[in-house]
Amino acid sequence: MGISIILGQGYVGLPLAEALSEVGETVFGFDVNQGLVDNLNAGRSHVDDVSHEGVAKMIAAGYRATTDPADIAKADTVVICVPTPLNQSGGPDMSYVESAAALAAANLKPGALVVLESTTYPGTTTNLLRPLLEEGGRVLDKDFHLAFSPERIDPGNQKFNIRNTPKVVGGESPESGRLAVAYYSRFVSQIHQTKGTKEAETAKLLENTYRHVNIALINELAMFCHALDIDVWEVVKAASSKPYGFQAFYPGPGVGGHCIPVDPAYLSFEVKRRLGADFRFIETAMDINSGMPRYVVSRIQAILNREGKPLNGSKVLLLGIIYMPDIADLRESPSLEIFEILIDDGADARFFDPHVATVRVAGDVREREADLQQAIIESDVVVVLQAHSAFNLDAIVNSSKTVFDTRGVLSGANVERL
Ligand X SMILES: NC(=O)c1ccc[n+]([C@@H]2O[C@H](COP(=O)([O-])OP(=O)(O)OC[C@H]3O[C@@H](n4cnc5c(N)ncnc54)[C@H](O)[C@@H]3O)[C@@H](O)[C@H]2O)c1
- Residues with active-site annotation: 259
Q: Which residues of this protein are in contact with ligand X, per CB under 6 A?
A: 7-13, 30-33, 36, 81-84, 96, 99-100, 118-119, 151, 153, 155, 258-259
CA distances from 332 to 162, 189, 205, 260, 337 (A): 23, 31, 18, 9, 9
Concatenated DSSP letters for 71-134? GGGG-SEEEE-----B-TTSSB--HHHHHHHHHHHHHPPTTEEEEE-S---TTHIIIIIHHHHH
Q: Shortest gap between Cβ of 118 and ligand X (angstroms)?
A: 3
- CA dist., res. 229 & res. 206, Å (int): 34
Residue 46 CB coordination number (10 Å): 16
DSSP track, 132-185: HHHGGG--BTTTEEEEE------TT-SS--TTTS-EEEEESSHHHHHHHHHHHH
The closest alpha carbon to 84, from 76, 96, 74, belongs to: 96
Shortest Cβ 79–ligand X spacing (Å): 11
Distance of closest approach, residue 257 Cβ to ligand X, in angstroms: 6
Is residue 362 within 8 A of residue 343, CB to CB? The reply is yes
- Provide DSSP, 236-304: HHHHTTSSSS-------S---SSSTTTHHHHHHHHHHHHH----HHHHHHHHHHHTHHHHHHHHHHHHH
The residue number whose beta carbon is nearest to ligand X equals 10
What number of CA atoms fall less than 13 Å from residue 355's CA on the CB side? Answer: 21
CB of 412 to ligand X, least distance (A): 34
- Distance, in Å, from the CA atom of 279 to the CA atom of 259, rounded to the nearest integer, reads 18
Name the burial class of residue 165, with classes exposed (0-12), middle (13-18) and buried (19+) by CB atoms within 10 angstroms of its CB. Answer: middle
DSSP one-letter code for 369:
P
> Please, what is the minimum distance in Å from the beta carbon of residue 285 to ligand X?
18
CB 108 within 8 A of CB 142: no
User: Cβ 96 to ligand X, closest distance in Å?
Assistant: 4
Contact 381, 316 (CB under 8 A): yes
Q: Maximum CA pair distance of the chain?
A: 75
**DSSP 8-state assignment for residue 70:** G
Between 205 and 303, name the residue whose CB sits nearer to ligand X: 205
Name the minimum Å distance from CB 7 to ligand X: 4
Q: To the nearest whole angstrom, how small is the minimum distance from the Cβ of residue 340 to ligand X?
A: 22
Q: How far is CA 45 from CA 39, 285, 290, in A?
A: 7, 35, 32
